[in-house]
Structure 1
Amino acid sequence: MTAPLTPPPPPHQRPSQPSRPSEAAGTAHEQAWHVPPAGAGAAGSAGEQDGPGMRTEIREAAVVTVAVALGGVLLGLLWWWLAPQVPLVADVSGNSWIVYLKDTEGEQAIGVDGTFTLLALAFGVVSAVAVFLARRRGGVPLVIGLCVGALLGSLLAWRLGVWLGPEHDVIAHAKAVGKGVTFPAPLKLGAKGALLAWPLAALVVHLGVTALFGPRDPEPEPYGHTPHPGPDPEPHDGRTR
């Protein structure tokens, strides 16, 4: 006996098959190419969360500015304590008091400016290293906050040292001590450029330690390099095995 022949299904019920194997492979390859590699979404989310936002950086920069500026109090105290005194002496001519330097060839005035400059440089190094250790990632707002705080600290130290120093009214001081008695001149900063020693030293040292010991950015991939999408999936003809 001959088995009954099963009529072929209508054309609209036949499974769709690619006309040529090359077209099927090309279609599967395009589909696989547009599929993002595994972990791409997680990597993008991690990249967005990597590092603080701009608001956090600005807030940290403000904290650094205030902390560094308060260091000017210590700088002013050290300058007032370590700076050499400039000796003055008074004389009376008629009813007028004349005040002049006791040692006209002395270098005490230069020593006052030099002491402030050396102390400011040391404070610049210490503050830069401290800020780097507190936040190694650095950032432009942090560097700006460090420099602004150092400049404010220098101004605070200068005004504090002058305020703590000897009497500002030289004539009144001369009258108080008497004729021919040596007394110290008011503490003052002759070279105002010394106020920039702290911020410049902090900027240079911070950039240096960041370049040497700061975290390194990952190296970019070579130009034109794209991840391989993996092997092409085998074409499926829709038949049930």
Structure 2
Amino acid sequence: MTAPLTPPHQPSPHDSAWPPPYPTAQEGTDGAPNTAAEVRQGAVVLLAVTLAGIALGLLWLWLAPRIPLVSDGRAVFLKDTEGEAAVGADGVFTLLALGLGALSAAVVFWFHRHGGIAIVVGLALGGLFGAMLGWGVGTLLGPAHDVAAHARAVGAGVTFDAPLKLQAHGAVLAWPVAAMLVHLGLTALFGPRDPEPDWDAPL
């Protein structure tokens, strides 16, 4: 009788690499970053993406169409009653949020190709917080919100801009949704693949 062969799924006990080394403090059992390191990376992603909302607010303030108002000394009226500037402001915000969502997802994937739940959660929450921050920055730095006081300050018959507002509040979801879709696509196309098992052919 011959000695039984070593099962193909187990290394030989005479192999110098057996038993396998213990994972280091920086890596888990599969070579991926440990939970603490992943949580720290997720927190950094959350903070960075949230702060990018300032750029959204500034771009929205710059690109959004204005709503012209005029006062007759007693009341304030729309100068262009058929204008669609309010809808245009929502559209500009949504498009900018979609673009920044895609950009933030690409940057996060570039620096963290291994992925991880904490990083994905940080990207999603950062996109939501960034959109809300951009909304606040745009409205805060835009035209004055006290329309009556603004009308008295400029005088009767003088055109001035209405406050910048976001009518469709659901537009704040455009950033996190775009970020998740783009990150998912990039991970599926270019993410790391699990190595194929290399079975030794039995003799």
Q: Aligned-pair distance for 1:156?
A: 0.7
1:108 aligned residue: 85
The residue that corresponds to 1:61 in the other structure is: 42
Look up the SS of the partner of 2:20 in the other structure.
Answer: helix
Deviation per CA, 1:171-228: give whole Å up to 9, x if none.
Answer: 001111111221100011010011011110000000001100111112357xxx8985
SS at match of 1:41: coil
Give the one of 54, 57, 64 matched to 1:83: 64
Query: Which of 153, 158, 164 is matched with 1:187 structurally?
Result: 164
- Return the alpha-carbon distance in structure 1 between the equivalents of residues 150 and 23 of structure 2: 70
The corresponding residue for 1:239 is: none
Instruction: Measure how far apart 1:75 and its partner are.
Output: 0.9
In structure 1, distance between residues paired with 2:4 and 2:110 = 51
Look up the SS of the partner of 2:167 in the other structure. coil
4+ residue runs over 4 A deviation: 32-35, 43-47, 225-228
Q: Where does residue 134 of structure 1 map in the other structure?
A: 111
Q: Which has the larger radius of gyration?
A: 1
**Structure 1 residue 175 corresponds to structure 2 residue 152:** yes
Q: Secondary structure at the match of 1:42?
A: coil
Name whichever of 36-45 and 182-191 sits farther off: 36-45
CA deviation after TM superposition for structure 1 residue 36, in Å: 3.6
User: Over the residues paired in the alignment, what is the CA RMSD in angstroms?
Assistant: 2.4
Report what 1:73 is aligned to: 54
Whole-angstrom distance in 2 between the partners of 1:188 and 1:37? 72
Q: Provide the secondary structure at the position in 1 that maps to 2:72.
A: strand
How high is the sequence identity, in percent, across the aligned residues? 54
Please name the residue that 1:210 is paired with.
Answer: 187
Length-normalised TM-score, structure 2: 0.87
**3-state SS, counterpart of residue 88 of structure 1:** strand
Shift of 1:90: 1.4
Structure 2 distance, partners of 1:58, 1:45, is 19
CA separation in 2, counterparts of 1:109 and 1:37? 75
Choose the corresponding residue for 1:157, options 134, 138, 148. Answer: 134
**Aligned to 2:144, what secondary structure does the other structure show?**
coil
State the one-letter code of the partner of 2:62.
W
- Counterpart CA distance in 1 for 2:133 and 2:23 is 45
Alignment-derived partner of residue 42 in structure 1: 20
Shift of 1:91: 2.3
Aligned residue pairs total 196
Shift in Å, 1:63: 0.4
Paired amino acid for 1:66: L
Change (3 A) 1:178 1:77: same
Residues 29 and 191 of structure 1: CA distance in aligned 2, closer, same or farther (over 3 Å): same
Code of the residue aligned with 1:41 in structure 2: it is: P
Q: For 2:50 and 2:94, how far apart are their aligned partners in 1?
A: 16
What's 1:125 paired with? 102
Unpaired runs of 5+ in structure 1?
1-21, 231-241
> Could you list the runs of 5+ residues in structure 2 that have no partner in the other structure?
none
Shift of 1:42: 2.4
Q: Which residue does the alignment assign to 1:8?
A: none
Normalised TM-score (structure 1): 0.74
